[in-house]
A and B are shown apart, each in its own frame.
Chain A
Amino acid sequence: MGKKTLETLTETMFYTLMAFQRGEMCGAEVSQFVEQKTAGRVRMGPGTLYTILAKFQEEKLLLEVESGGGRKRTYRITGRGRTCYREEVERLRACVADAESEDAV
């Protein structure tokens, strides 16, 4: 069985991509961003965070920009990552719009 590529993003994956809209970040900064942004609603365990970072690298949504020398690995979002993020935002907007239109009925 071949490797399965990402089809939809989970909440933690979505917020991770969102974090990189601000620029380059290391794992700890992503975790901090997500916790602050969601006011603690979304908490990423270290296993989840580092699996997402590695998976996104594998899928070429993120690129490692600095590592080694005792410093933490830092990543930046790629063009493909931005597209993936925008598509997800559009999909969520459409979901919310559908929900609101249904509420109005």
Chain B
Amino acid sequence: MKRVRKLIPVDSLDLTGLEVWLEEMAARGLHLERLGRSTALFLRGEPAAVRYRLEPLEGVKGRDWAEYDAVLAGDGWELVADEVENTCRLYRTADPNAPEVHTDPVVQSFVLERLVRRQRRGLALSLVLFAAMLVLLVWLQLRRDRGFVLWLVENASPILLFFPLLMVLLVLDLGSSLKQLRRLGQLKDQLAQGFPLQRERTYRRRYLSHATVWLPNLVLFLTFVVQMGSAFSAWYLPLGEARLPFPLPAVTELTEDAALDETPRYTQGFLAEYHNGVHYRWYPLADLYEVDQCITAEEGAVEYHLAARWYDLRLPFLAERLTKDLADDETEHRAKKVTVSGLDRTWTAQIGQYQYLFACAGDKVLSLTWRGDGGAVDLAPIALQILSEQ
């Protein structure tokens, strides 16, 4: 027999809506086989007048479901699903003479009372969690020690890129749950006043609910893909083997130390990866090349060290702010702004034996660090050469 899967177009707490939809499907020859969270699986057969009824699981305490199912079966009602959305049991009958499951609306309101209370507790908990998440994020943002743009580019970009969308979806989901719960509460009150259920042949479409269930998952999946993409696209190559997209002078060109033996400071062990090599990382907002040159002279007694971080930003307007963040981060706010013709913004600092320069031009950002036991060098022409050739 042919099976058909359909998206459930009814809100999860629209109990009569779901019953009506399933009855419509049966009238079209689609008989429910399995009900999932978002989809329902039907067996295609002959069109039939079938009644479906949902019974909340937490109706009243102490119900013996085995006995209840047996009594309903005796009256012609078949149990179709024992847990719909974790809230209800679903029964159906094709017997037009089978008695209604509920014949007293006031008594039926007792069944909904507990369900409404549980849903209210669940929603309150969701709101508290949502608020806690917001507070946590604000707190994390406040105690962050890196500049925002630097943090955005290098640390949190995949999550942050999708975060606003995720928050909007969560707000929509909470709003939709609140609305559904209000309707369920109204239904319970109507029953408690003795008005029986009106099974209108219409139901509210719940595509928004579907979106709020699936889109956050999609967003998290995309975040994961981006994160993985970033991790897998990273590479490291020794200095001589890597092709850089910018011209970087060799340390030997920057010093006239006669004793320079051009011996890499570290060639073995894990430190070799951080010296005399190129690290490339892809981030959603930038490509980053980190180049490190470290050589010694006089049998290692004198050290020359040039480190460069070169960012190719996808959003050029972030360049100036990223440069400032890099300067603040690496020099602990000690860098001073200077003017260098040909560069958009430049900050420099001299701290101990280290010289720093941070500059940007267009969508490129550069950070240079020099330590030369043999003397200082002028980093500005190097930055100008690197950034002006883009």
Contacts and interface: CB of A to CB of B under 8 A. Distances in A.
A44 B72 CA distance: 12
Nearest to B185: A1
Nearest to A72: B67
A44 B104 contact: yes
Interface string B56-95: 0001111110011001100101000000000000000000
Given A50-B63, A51-B60, A57-B61, A45 B113 contact: no
B113 A27 contact: no
B113 A47 contact: no
Interface in A1-60: 1, 3-4, 10-13, 27-28, 43-52, 54-55, 57-58
Interface residues of A, number: 27
A83 interface: no
Q: Which among A28, A48, A57 has the greatest number of chain B C-beta atoms within 10 A?
A: A48
A4 B109 CA distance: 11
5 contacts: A27-B67, A46-B68, A46-B75, A50-B68, A57-B61
A73 interface: yes
A61 B383 CA distance: 88
Contact of A13 (B77, B100, B107): B107
Contacts of A13: 104, 106-107
Contacts, number: 83
Contact of B103 (A4, A12, A64, A67): A12
Given A27-B67, A28-B71, A47 B62 contact: no
A49 B113 CA distance: 17
Interface residues of B, number: 29
B229 interface: no
A104 B55 CA distance: 47
B212 interface: no
Given A13-B104, A45-B99, 12 more contacts: A4-B113, A45-B102, A46-B75, A46-B101, A47-B55, A48-B104, A50-B63, A50-B71, A51-B60, A54-B60, A54-B61, A57-B62
A29 to B, nearest CB: 12
A43 to B, nearest CB: 6
Tell me what chain A mostly uses at the interface: helix, strand, loop, or mixed: helix
Nearest to B77: A46
B117 interface: yes
Interface string B106-136: 1110110100010010000000000000000
B331 to A, nearest CB: 59
Contacts of A55: 60, 107, 110
Nearest to A68: B64
Contact of B72 (A3, A12, A46, A64): A46
Contacts of B100: 45, 47
B103 A48 contact: yes
B80 to A, nearest CB: 15
Nearest to A31: B71
B64 A51 contact: no
Contacts of B63: 50-51, 54
Contacts of B106: 10, 13
B91 to A, nearest CB: 9
A98 B314 CA distance: 85
Given A51-B59, A51-B60, A54-B59, A43 B99 contact: yes
